[in-house]
Amino acid sequence: MKIALQINEGPYQHQAADSAIQFTKAALAKGHEIFRVFFYHDGVNNATRLAIPPQDDRNITAEWVALQKEHNLDLVVCIAAAQRRGLIDEDEMNRQGKDANNISEGFRISGLGQLIEAGIEADRLVVFGA
């Protein structure tokens, strides 16, 4: 079965991202396809590569990246929500004339249409949020 996820909250502040990661691992273990993970609202903060959690804590962005590499996940960050919150990739940095970028490898920035498309193409959409 094709399952899509929507993540509405940033890492650490709320359990949403942790729940979504555990759900994703379980779904993949059971042979389902994760069609797409769409990060919206403060959920875009899952994609920063600059977070430095304490060494004895989990690194949520790194966990997403590891899952992405192993299972070729489509991790999509909403561009409108990301720009509003200062999450940009290299292309956006150049286009907007900013002096830095912070999106991790493994994530891609795209529009809200990707969320709607996930709703259309996947068999189920599961939302994690606050």
Partner 1 sequence: MAKKFMYVNRKPPYGTIYALESLEVVLIGAAFDQDVSLAFIGDGVYQLTKGQDTKAIGQKNFSPVYSALGDYEVTKIYIEKESLEERGLTLDDLQHLVWEDEDDDWAEKDSIRLVSRAELADVLDDQDVLLSF
Partner 2 sequence: MSLLHTVNKSPFESNTFDACLNLAKSGSTVLLIEDGVYAATTGNSVADKIKNTTDINFCVLGPDAQARGIEGKLAEGIKVVDYEGFVDLVAEHDAVQAWL
Q: Which residues are catalytic?
A: 78
Site pattern 6..35 for partner 1 (x: CB under 8 A): x-x---------------------------
Site pattern 49..88 for partner 1 (x: CB under 8 A): -------------------------------xx-------
Report the phi/psi class of residue 31: left, alpha or beta, with left for phi > 0 and alpha for psi in -120 to 50: left
By DSSP bridging, strand 33-39 and strand 107-110 are: unpaired
Region near partner 1 per CB under 8 A, out of 52-60, 88-96, 101-109, 116-124:
116-124
- Out of 41, 63, 64, 73, the only residue in the binding site for partner 1 (CB under 8 A) is 41
Record the tokens describing residue 129, joined without a space. Answer: 């949020």
Record the tokens describing residue 9, joined without a space. Answer: 């909250």
Record the tokens describing residue 12, joined without a space. Answer: 């650490």
**Of partner 1, partner 2, none, which one does residue 13 interact with (CB within 5 to 8 Å by kind)?**
none
In angstroms, the first-to-last Cα distance of the chain is 26
- CA–CA gap between residue 82 and residue 39 (Å, rounded): 9
DSSP helix/strand/coil, 85? coil
Residues that bind partner 1 (CB under 8 A): 6, 8, 40-41, 80-81, 111-113, 115-117, 119-120, 125, 127, 129
